[in-house]
Chains A and B, each alone.
Chain A
Amino acid sequence: MIRASASTQAQARARRRKEEAWALGLLLPAFGLFFLFYVVPLGQAIWLSLHQEDLFGRDLRYSGLDNYRQVLQDPAFWRSAKTTLLFAALVVPLELLLGLLAALLVWRPYPGVALFRTLFFLTTAVPTAVAAVAWGWFLHPVGGYLNHVLRTLGLSPQPWLTNPDLALPTLAVVTAWAGVGFTAILLTAGLQNIPEEVLEAASVDGASPWTRFWRVVLPLLSPTLFLVGLLVLLKSLTAFGQIHLLTRGGPIESTMVWIYRVYQEAFFNFRFAYAAAQGLLLFLLLVVLAALQFRLLGRRVHYA
């Protein structure tokens, strides 16, 4: 046994090296793509944001933080940042509320619950573009069903998407509607994690369904609600498709959100460096929020 040690050690080393080669080979496809499509573009964006371009988007020269300084002094940028936050402030509570109502209705099994689950979760299968078209027609000033209902009820029809005061809230409703399925699924899962004994104990103690909801269900669900709220916040800060299809940032910039401005600066004004700086600022905000979410998750999900 002792006599073999030198050669077994060499063998072990060779085996370890072979194992390492296997591991790296198996990681290569995924990490090669990550490097090319995540790391490289990110580096390029940072590099670009530190440069100025001439009128034709060529002739880059290093300019330090000039772009960022310019962005932060640009009233149009602050307007779009404000619009984005307002939009998120409308979407998040609305989507949570709509999703929670759906989740509560299909949380516990009863005959027919599968049908209702399908109907409540259905919007996850609706592409943003289709959701936008459905609502565009639903809200159509002349033929729209909503205005038809309003007229029948004796109320005045509204220009939902062409009134600058109404357009952003309307888009928030469309966005929340499109997200109901997503939040309902996550909140249903959260509700199902509440231990049955706790609910039974509350019933035995004579709590009414109402008290049980406020005193038992809601507190136990609140970590999930917070996490789902954070997810919805992240999604709403980058909402694009429905805005592009329904309002194009208008009327009079009332729905010009941050990411839409980045898109416009880059693809209509061809100010790529300036757009990159704006995009990176949004990126920073989102990374901070995502990191917060991950920290919270780390406490709840075991992943070591």
Chain B
Amino acid sequence: MRRLWPTYLLASFYAFLLVLPLLVLLSASLRAPEDLFTPGLLPPKVSLEGYRAALTDYPLWRYLLNSLLVASLATLGVLLTSLLAGYGLARIPFRSQKVFFGLVVALLLVPGEVTFLPLYLLINRLDWLDTYQALILPFAASPLGVFLLRQYIKTIPEDYFDAARIDGAGHLGLIRHVALPLSAPALGALAALTFIGAWNMYLWPLVVTQSREMQTAQIAINFILNEADAVARWNVVAAASFLVLLPTLLAFLLAQRAFVKGIALGGLKG
């Protein structure tokens, strides 16, 4: 048995350093305005003024709701389109299958962040600026998702499909009763990966939203920072940021396995 205390010591110290910026943020969010510049990790006295101001001076609920709507609908879209296309590519032999799979692989290589400008021009032409569909639809299908599901469904033994076929199931029945339940682990990992990606989007909502009501939480932080920083209301900025962090933090703590698996799977592509 190896001695563990050096590991514990080092891991605790390192973990503390990594979490420190977040602890400082939490501390700032709980400070009274006059205590903002009082040194120390703990606030001299706990004040909820930052949270009150963040929730009443800004429509933070609206921003969080926007983010939640965008992230959940994009995730739902990715799961559905990936499951259907993944099954189609993995289970139905047809002539141009290779072409379609090749296209998925090619699209895997397209870096999303640099297509924001042409995508913006397209959305502008469609007259979709400042709409939910502009925030959701471009992310409702993912090449990575189709790729992962196709790989996963290919590994399901033919026997399972045969059994359902004997019971008279068509393709939709096979998807619903065989492919869907059996690829639940892959779908879960993909869902975690997609949700976190959509929740954290920054550049796209920044260019495509115009009115305050349409902004997502990430973009709201930007202008709360601009406004509140100017008058040194850092406790408000910190409180708003913490409220935006809370949903992903909770999701991460509750579904850590799916998160980790999603990143390990998706990290193969990124």
Does B151 count as interface, using CB distance less than 8 angstroms? yes
Q: Which residues of B contact A37 (CB under 8 A)?
A: 119, 122, 137-138, 141
The residues in B between 104 and 129 inclusive whose CB is less than 8 angstroms from any CB of A are 105, 107-111, 113-115, 117-122
The binding surface of chain B is classed by DSSP as helix
Given A127-B200, A134-B21, A294-B108, CB of A29 within 8 Å of CB of B84 = yes
Q: Does A145 contact B (CB under 8 A)?
A: yes
How far is B25's CA from A177's CA once the two chains are assembled, in angstroms?
Answer: 15
- B147 — which chain A residues lie within 8 A by C-beta? 303
State whether the Cβ of B206 lies closer than 8 Å to any Cβ in chain A: yes
Contact (A26, B87) CB under 8 Å given A135-B21, A238-B111: yes
Q: In which size bucket is the chain A interface? A: 35 or more
Least distance between B29 CB and chain A CB atoms (Å): 10
Is A116's CB under 8 angstroms from B21's CB?
no
Chain A residues, CB < 8 A from B251: 125
Q: Name B69-127 residues within 8 Å CB distance of A.
A: 77, 80-82, 84-85, 87-89, 92-95, 97, 100, 103, 105, 107-111, 113-115, 117-122
- Contact residue among A26, A134, A286 (Cβ-Cβ distance under 8 Å from B25): A134
Partner of B111, one of A234, A294, A301: A234
Residue of B nearest to A174 (CB): B21
Give the contact-size bracket for chain B: 35 or more
B125 vs chain A, min Cβ distance (A): 9
Mark the stretch among A5-13, A69-77, A276-284 that contacts chain B. Answer: A276-284
Stretch in A17-25, A85-93, A164-172, A215-223 touching the partner: A17-25
A207 within 8 A of B: no
Check B114–A282 contact: CB distance below 8 A.
Answer: yes
A275, B22: Cα distance in complex, Å: 36
For B267, list chain A residues within 8 Å (CB).
182, 185-186, 189, 228, 231
Q: Are B92 and A19 in contact (CB under 8 A)?
A: yes
Q: Which residues of B contact A44 (CB under 8 A)?
A: 118, 121-122
Q: Which residues of B contact A251 (CB under 8 A)?
A: none
Nearest CB on A from B217, distance (A): 8
- A276 with B264: CB separation less than 8 A: no
Closest residue of chain A to B8 (Cβ to Cβ) is: A112
Contacts A127-B218, A129-B244: A33 and B115 contacting too (C-beta < 8 A)? no
User: How far is the CB of A18 from the nearest CB of chain B, in Å?
Assistant: 10
**How would residues 239 to 269 of chain B score, 1 for a CB under 8 Å from any chain A CB and 0 otherwise?**
0011011001101110010011001100111
B92: shortest Cβ distance to chain A, in Å? 4
Contact status A41-B36, CB under 8 Å: no
Say yes or no: is A14 at the interface (Cβ < 8 Å to chain B).
no
- A241 an interface residue at 8 Å Cβ cutoff? yes
A119 within 8 A of B: yes
CB within 8 Å for A283 and B200 given contacts A29-B84, A129-B222 = no
**Complex: chain A residue closest to B219, CB-CB:** A129
The answer to whether residues A42 and B115 also contact, given A124-B263, A291-B109 and a CB cut-off of 8 A, is: yes
Whether the pair A266, B117 counts as a contact (CB closer than 8 A) is yes
Complex CA gap A40/B119 in Å reads: 8
Secondary structure class of chain A's binding surface, majority of residues? helix
Are A118 and B256 within 8 A (Cβ)?
yes
Q: A127 contacts B28, CB within 8 Å?
A: no
Contact A145 B41 (CB under 8 A): yes
Please give me the residue from chain B that is nearest to A125 by CB atom: B252
Tell yes or no: B11 within 8 A of A by CB. yes
A29 near B241 (CB under 8 angstroms)? no
B51 beta carbon closer than 8 Å to chain A: no
* B-contact bits for A226-270, CB 8 A (1 contact / 0 none): 001001001100101100110000000000000100110011000
The closest CB in chain A to the CB of B1 belongs to A110
Taking the complex as formed, is B231 at the interface, i.e. its CB lies under 8 A from any CB of chain A?
no
CB-CB under 8 A from B222, the residues of chain A are 129, 244-245
Given A27-B89, A186-B264, A134 contacting B248 (CB threshold 8 A): no
Given B19, B107, B221, which contacts A133 in the complex, CB threshold below 8 Å? B221
16 extra interface residue pairs, beta carbon distance < 8 Å, beyond A121-B256, A186-B267: A41-B121, A102-B18, A122-B18, A124-B263, A125-B245, A125-B248, A128-B200, A129-B200, A131-B21, A134-B22, A185-B267, A244-B203, A279-B118, A286-B114, A290-B109, A293-B270
